[in-house]
Amino acid sequence: MENLENKKYWIWFSLIKGLGCVRKNKLLKIYGTPEEIYKLSKSELLKIDGIGDETVKNIIEAKNGKILNYHIKYMKENNIDIIHICEENYPQLLKQIYDAPVSLYIRGNKNILNGENVGIVGCRDCTDYGKKAAKYFAYNLSKEKSINIVSGLAKGVDSYAHWGSVGATIELVRTKKCGKKQNDCGKQNVSCGKIQKNCGINEINCGKTIAVLGNGLDMIYPKENIELANEIIRSGGTIISEYPCGTKPDKMNFPARNRIISGLSKGIIVIEAKEKSGTLITVDFALEQGRDVFVVPGNINSINSVGTNDLIRQGAKIVTSYEDVE
């Protein structure tokens, strides 16, 4: 992990309240780096077009050295890194979107962010069909095509997609270790074989999973996914967020989080979405970003499939096998 002291101005920049990604990126185009913005006086800040008194107040308040040092200390102690939009290892696909995050907080393997990524999204209250579909696509895309699975660590389809990808890694690690194929990996309960340290994860040619949070990395939401989050890290995956530590889960953050899921991915797979599902927000982002939208057909009698089946009527690509995802 790079010395966080070298990135303290990027951390400071992320702590400014009320200053969105679009405005931050515009400021970077003018001044080059957050350090140069940090040096601006109150009067200089007020001269910037679109920057009002409230924003200037927030910029100055974020300069509190104690708060900044606390964040750096916490990140060091908890193996949290930060990458910014000017770095070479910043996700190139994500960099192309209109409102790309200026920085990303990361726990885990940041090298996969620029890999072959596909998003899987769907209902939180998914049916058994949705659970099986999410695990099937994530498991096989990871194992057979070495594709990284991107989702939001939410209940339902997100969780089962993450578990499916983790299960593929577990199976390949165990096969490599003992030479035998395990039949029960890829299930949501992976207590049959958790990833251990020094198990050769980096030598396994298998897609990993990326969880995108709508809160800071100091908190896993929902709490029941703490074990899943730990397995994601142990299996060579990563957990990311544009929000600094201390940011609590907020319903306003989740739609913004969804643009990162699609932004990191070459395409998204939709598995169960109600007529007015939040999943459809991710679909809108994907289409705006020029990403492919794949849809798993659903039960015509299920309310969980109204949105997905409507996407098919609108021309989305139908997928019934992982081999259909190209």
pLDDT in tens, 33-48: 999 999 999 999 999 9
Range of the domain at 35: 4-77
266 CB-near residues (< 8 Å, 6+ apart): 93, 116, 117, 118, 291, 292
With respect to residue 187, please indicate whether it lies within any of the assigned structural domains: yes
Identify whether residues 40 and 146 lie together within a single domain: no
Identify whether residues 270 and 204 lie together within a single domain.
yes
Residues 65 and 181 both lie in one domain: no
- Report yes or no on 99 lying in a domain: no
pTM, whole model, 2 decimals? Answer: 0.92
How much is the CA Rg of the chain, to the nearest whole Å? Answer: 20
* Count of structural domains within the chain: 2
pLDDT > 90 fraction of the chain, expressed in percent and rounded: 87
Q: Is the pLDDT of residue 322 over 70?
A: yes
Which of 294, 255, 293, 288 is closest to 97 using CA atoms?
288
Give 148's pLDDT tier (boundaries 50, 70, 90): very high
Query: Residue 53 sits in a domain of what CATH number?
Result: 1.10.150.20
